[in-house]
Structure 1
Amino acid sequence: MRHAFGFVLGVLLTPALVYGSAWGYVQAGQSFDGTGQAITDRTRIYGAFALLAAVGLVMGVIIVARWASPLVSLVPAFALLGLSAWFLADPGRALDLPGQVPPAGDLDSGLRMLLGSGVYAMMGFALLMPAWAPRRWGSGRDEDAAGFDF
């Protein structure tokens, strides 16, 4: 049951991580002037950094949580690594995908930039690491009971 819940949670977290990081990237990029070296919209950049920090926090919790099924991190890892591999094999079709999936607009450029720059591959490899820990695949009930001496 733990792995079924982990699979469903992984499926739900995948678009949240992808869209959250892309939207934060776009909002941060639109809120400063790189040539003038000045922030043009402080409210927007604070919101963008808060969203990017939330994406990083969720990824960190997924990576280090011993109670979570490895499928919570494995599903988004395979999705991100598969998307990155598809980009390397056929960049034109992979970069066309964000235009076919709602919502459209500025978010598409964020999805394309993070995919093309390898950020999604990096996120995928980071999320792949917890699946290699053997204790994440077990139930953990025997370890918890043996660890408490009252």
Structure 2
Amino acid sequence: MNRSECPVNLAVELLGDRWSLLVLRDVMFAGKRHYRELLASDEGISTKVLAERLRSLTDAGLLTRSDDPTHKQKAIYSLTERSIALVPVLVQLGIWGHRQLGADDGLSRHAETLDRGGRPLCEAFMDDLREAHLGAQARRLPRGDRPALELTG
């Protein structure tokens, strides 16, 4: 049960623990889709905590879990439209962490690149995530008219 219906409270109750946003970050920006890949996070998430977060993110409709056709015992985690809508929020958190807390330049490059590209680049990135995770064709601009996302150093 939610403490209040305040939009900030509702978001914090869903995403306010340390690991939920980091799992989503790794799926969004690092392309990690399997349990073992997510377990290798630089922050050192434990197997128990990762399993709990994947379950809660799936239950909340932020991730889906499906069988990996290449391996019977593996699952693939995919973003949902609900989690893809968080991209601008995570970009701004990354920008804030870089500028206010001195986060590593290399680790901040995704957020900085998306921020510099503005809304069109962020929307193009979100469309790419939709294609990769939802199988949906990019909706906003034809591929030839979309800005390229250059995330290399």
User: Structure 1-normalised TM-score?
Assistant: 0.30
Decide which structure has greater helix share: 1
Q: Which has the larger radius of gyration?
A: 1
TM-score, scaled relative to structure 2:
0.30
